[in-house]
Amino acid sequence: MAGLILFGSFLILLLISAPVAISLGISSSLTVLLVDDLGISLDVIPQRIFGGLDSSSIMAIAYFILAGNIMTKGGISRKLVDFCNSIVGNFRGGMAHALVMASAFFSSLSGSAPATVIAIGSMLYKDMVKLGYPKNRTAGLLVISGGLGPIVPPSIIMVVYGTLTGSSIGALFKSGMVIGILLMLSLMIAISIYSRKENWPKTSEKISFTNIFKKFVNAIPALSLPIIILGGIYSGLFTPTESAAIAVICSLFVGMFVYKEIKYSDLFDIFVDSAKSSAMILFIIATSTSFAWLFAYSGISRDLVSFVTELNLSPTVFSLLVALLLLVFGIFLEGIATCVLLVPVLWPLAQAVGLDSIHFGMIVCISNVVGTMTPPVAVNIFSASSVTGLKMGDIVKGQIPFFISYLFIFILVVIFPSISTFLN
């Protein structure tokens, strides 16, 4: 009865377009009010909501969002794009390779897929189209390359997953680095194939070591940021939360005093935008905590674990089923919402079949990223549309070969746990 009311009311609220955070909170409250057998009062819900934010790791989310906004408006993405373009710009499809490389670099600063799409797209899309790159292919590549954002560390969704499961965020970041490189290489292979097949242009400017060195020197402040952030985490000098705060300070210093593209008058808008984005994510996490606690307290979680254990599924089969489930949810829900809703439900089941927490975390993170590329709730496509002016259908058609490349790496990660765990 409790499970029917909990999930039934949640799905109904989603269908009538209620916000995810509100849906989670109302469905939890209704379950407590309508199911007398639980023997708890409604006071438990606000207690669990506030308790869900009582974690130092949660603070990293707000800091990384703020750092990403500062980097986007501080000229850091432009320096990264210029450096990447100096390396591969004169190959056929060279600017497409530069787009992927720049997305990977910016991902190591922002940790956000939409932020990566908007930052890199606003820098490269118009120039690529002027050179003769196909509009829909370029926009499609931008969507998929933005999917490096939540995979290449630091990653907001990895922080959320680590907080929910107690997994090491540093270990998740290490795995994300390996998988991010594999994703980047797969996209560049697809670019090499399609740039010849569709005769994409190349710039007339030849590779010049002098020019590469000049662009590298200009990009040193931008390139040093991921070294400081990730180097501090992996060396043990500071925690992921402390690294996020340091990312804010360093990016603010670089944007204001090195590249001088952020003025004091810009800070208010940057802080307000960051606060709005952070509040949305943190509200979802808070209300999902009460939902997940009620799910476990009512005994539904225990019954599911027993059911899955009796099926005697192998870890590989279970991983494939979880991946499919997450992909389906990702079509309709935003990635953070999917993570906070399903991880508390699925993690006990994953433990029951013997899955490693880092491997399971990579499945969760990548599947949620795939959701940002698939309509109707596709924040990467919406972000790309705002930059390019193209319709969703055109972008979806253009992204198909790159989407297949991304899915190929995802399937390898699901089937072969060692890809996620060999560094830990």
Token duo for residue 307:
């059911």
User: Is the bond into 376 cis (omega within 30 degrees of 0)?
Assistant: yes
pLDDT of amino acid 308: 66
Over residues 85-103, mean pLDDT: 80
Mean per-residue pLDDT for 5-34?
A: 82
Residue 276 has pLDDT above 70, yes or no: yes
Q: Residue 321's CB: how many other CB atoms inside 10 A? A: 15
**pLDDT at position 286, please?**
80
Question: What pLDDT sits at residue 189?
Answer: 93
- pLDDT digit string, tens, across residues 346-384: 888 888 888 899 999 999 989 888 877 877 667 788 778
Q: What is the pLDDT of residues 139-172, one digit of tens each?
A: 999 999 988 888 888 788 888 888 888 888 888 9
313 Ramachandran zone, left/alpha/beta (phi>0; psi -120 to 50)? beta
Alpha-carbon span 157 to 151, nearest angstrom: 8
pTM flag (> 0.95): no
Q: What percent of the chain has pLDDT over 90?
A: 12
pLDDT of 179 higher than 90: yes
pLDDT of 207-250, one tens digit each?
677 888 888 888 888 778 777 777 777 777 877 778 778 888 88
Q: Which helix (H) or strand (E) holds 40?
A: none
Q: Is the pLDDT of residue 290 over 90?
A: no
